[in-house]
Structure 1
Amino acid sequence: MQFTAKQISEIVNGSIEGNGDVVVSRVEKIEEATEGGLTFLANPKYENYLYTTGASVVIVNNDLEIEAAINATLIRVKNAYTAITLLLDQYNNIRFHKTGIEEPSFIHPTAKIGNDVYIGAFSYIGAEVVLGDNVSVYPQVYIGDNVQIGNGAILFPGVKIYHDCVLGEQVTIHSGAVIGSDGFGFAPQEDGTYRKISQIGNVVIEDQVEIGANTTIDRATMGHTIVRKGVKLDNLIQLAHNVEVGENSVIAAQTGISGSTKVGKQVILGGQVGAVGHITIADGTQVQAQSGINRSIEDPGLKWAGTPASQFQTQMRAQVVLQRLPDLERRIDQLEKILKEFKEEKNK
């Protein structure tokens, strides 16, 4: 695929400085770009590469001041990072756009398939499934009975959607993710064994959610496990039964959230965060990586860290004290020695 600088400027609503007819065919990092490449500059740390890059076109912020000669054509925009994100979206839409049904695949006669749908080979579409328009189902995807999937959803290879789950529009689920597997529910018996509790709820994923590879979201025991609109989940995340994640929250890899916990809106959880069950996490909360949340966080907009989690500034002060412990121990030993010598001298 080839685009001119003029065509790119029209897409990102930018202004051109240089040759508008120059052609690019790929997107590259600014420090590695070569002729025919498109790149961008958003981070001032990389500004020196602007004067040495081999890229043919560079997207920059409107307020960037040029300090030396530049060989590349510039496209000035309000926000270079947002502009390149838009271009990458366009690129992916063109690159991954497929339609049609590949064989072999199984589609139950009662399934309802929308317009311009792609279904890859070895996929399974169960009874009463509803696929909206422009849905992409890549090879080896399993979609169980009564699943509903909204317009523009993308299920990458190997995704498994269990029965009765509901996915909204523009949902993206990456390879190996499992949606709607049984929650971890077992009732202890008098003889020491455990009896499985049937999980009869489902998972509801609202619009514009993205779910990373090998993430698992358990179905509710009763009712719904809910991932609200705009949530972004990294790879290798576990959401247990009846969890609810609020709108536009972001959760990093290897985080686990136990059953029935409610995560508020615009929450940020770093990697390997753990949360116990049956608690609430307030809107706008930010939690540092590897923290453990063992109680509800009720005040919105605060930063937390550590295990058990405490407010960020408190945790940082505790870390400072912790680093001083060896010195404090040495000083205490010295004081005890002085005190012992003082007592011995006094008793003479």
Structure 2
Amino acid sequence: MLLSQAIKQTFEGYMTLDSEIKKDFELCGIAPLESANETQISYIDQDKYSHKLADSRAGAVLLRKELLDCVPPHIQPLVVDNPHLAFALLSHLFARKGFSACENPSIDPLANIAPNVHLGKNVRIGARTILMPGVVIGDNVEIGEHCKIYPNVVIYRDTIIGNRVNIHAGCVIGCDGFGYAHTNDGRHIKIEHNGIVVIEDDVELGANNTIDRAVFGQTLIKKGVKIDNLVQIGHNCVVGEHSILVSQVGLAGSTTTGRNVVMGGQAGTGGHIHIGDFVQVAGRGAVGKNLPPHTKWGGHPLMELDEWMKFFVSLRRMVKKQNPK
């Protein structure tokens, strides 16, 4: 579909384009500025990302009028009042089906597939991998060797899973992230998540985990990660090698961690946070800023762990003095 046709089809009833399309082209997808090519469209919703325009190869970019002077000559500027909403509308053109009837599976003869397993198109299953009853596998999923996929796990399309990975009952891998743009009259427009999930070797996921697919690119669980039950990992997160996430941890979108990070039960992060190597976050710790390597943290608001423990002891003493009985 031509860029002009895509805009007309998706913007109608929501917004107008405030610039002329001088160079129309066949639109093949949407992508971040740093990875987009000449057939793709990107967007900027915050001024702090404008420096990325200079090196981008995107065919067109959605942006506000104030940033028009930052656009290099080879990129088609598309001026709109709300670039985030425009991006959400265009994302619907590239949404793909996730679950088809079984077609052309590549299953190693040594794999063990239980009854009542659904396999989508172009699924690949490695040697000695076990799929237990009720597992649902979407299109183009790859699962390596010596994996155990327990009952009622759902793995959405295009997910890549390495070797020796255990995924316990009830996990959902590759579902859409929680992302919406908002109209002036308060409607919520879904952002289609067209990225994937990658799980590397020797990972174990406890029961009822959810790992969201990326908006574009990938959500990545690196090798050796161990995750307890009931953990939520948002879109475009990266969990570093050999990290441990205890039950009910929640990582907001685009959180990244270094290696060997440990997060206690019910700890959580805000979006776009980085946690350095070998960091420990105590249970219920609320991470709202980047954390340097080899440090320990706790509390809400977050403090270095020693400081938080002293604060908690002082608080208890204060309460006892006010209520001696």
Question: What TM-score bracket applies, with the shorter chain setting the length?
Answer: 0.5 to 0.7
Equivalent residues in 2 for 1:233-272 (5 A)? 233-272=227-266
Gaps of 5+ in 1: 1-105, 332-348
Q: Partner letter of residue 215 of structure 1?
A: N
Q: TM-score, normalised by structure 2?
A: 0.67
- After TM superposition, the structure 1 = structure 2 runs for residues 29-68 of structure 1, keeping only pairs within 5 Å, are none
Quick one: which amino acid aligns to residue 133 of structure 1? A
Deviation at 1:309, TM superposition (A): 1.5
Match of 1:86 in 2: none
Q: Report runs of 4+ in structure 1 exceeding 2 Å deviation.
A: 106-109, 326-331
- Structure 1 segment 162-241 matched on structure 2, within 5 A: 162-241=156-235
Q: Take 1:216 and 1:322, find their aligned partners in 2: how far apart are those partners?
A: 36
Deviation at 1:319, TM superposition (A): 1.0
1:312 aligned to 2:312? no
Task: Summarize deviations over 1:49-78 as a string: whole Å, max 9, x none.
Answer: xxxxxxxxxxxxxxxxxxxxxxxxxxxxxx
Question: For residues 274 and 193 of structure 1, what CA distance do their matches in structure 2 show?
Answer: 28
Post-superposition CA distance 1:152-196 (Å, at most 9, x none): 111000000000000000010000000000000100111101100
User: What is the aligned-residue identity percentage?
Assistant: 42
Residue 133 (structure 1) aligned with residue 143 (structure 2): no
The Cα shift of 1:233 comes to: 0.5
- Structure 2 counterpart of 1:101: none
Equivalent AA in structure 1 for residue 308 of structure 2: Q
Alpha-carbon distance in structure 2 between the residues aligned to 1:327 and 1:190? 51
Tell me, in whole angstroms, the C-alpha distance in 1 between the residues paired with 2:309 and 2:108: 53
Alpha-carbon separation, structure 2, partners of 1:249 and 1:170 = 16
Equivalenced residue count is 225
What is the match of residue 295 of structure 2?
Answer: 302
**What TM-score do the two structures reach when normalised by structure 1?**
0.63
Q: How do residues 69-148 of structure 1 correspond to structure 2 at under 5 angstroms?
A: 108-148=102-142
Q: Whole-Å Cα distance in 2 between the matches of residues 302 and 296 of structure 1? A: 11
1:189 counterpart letter in structure 2: T
Equivalents in 2 of 1:196, 1:329: separation in Å?
51
Higher relative contact order (CA 8 A, sep 6+): 2
Deviation at 1:268, TM superposition (A): 0.6
Q: What is the SS of the residue equivalent to 1:179?
A: strand
Distance, in Å, in 2 between the alignment partners of 1:310 and 1:243 is: 23
What does 1:19-30 correspond to in 2, within 5 Å? none
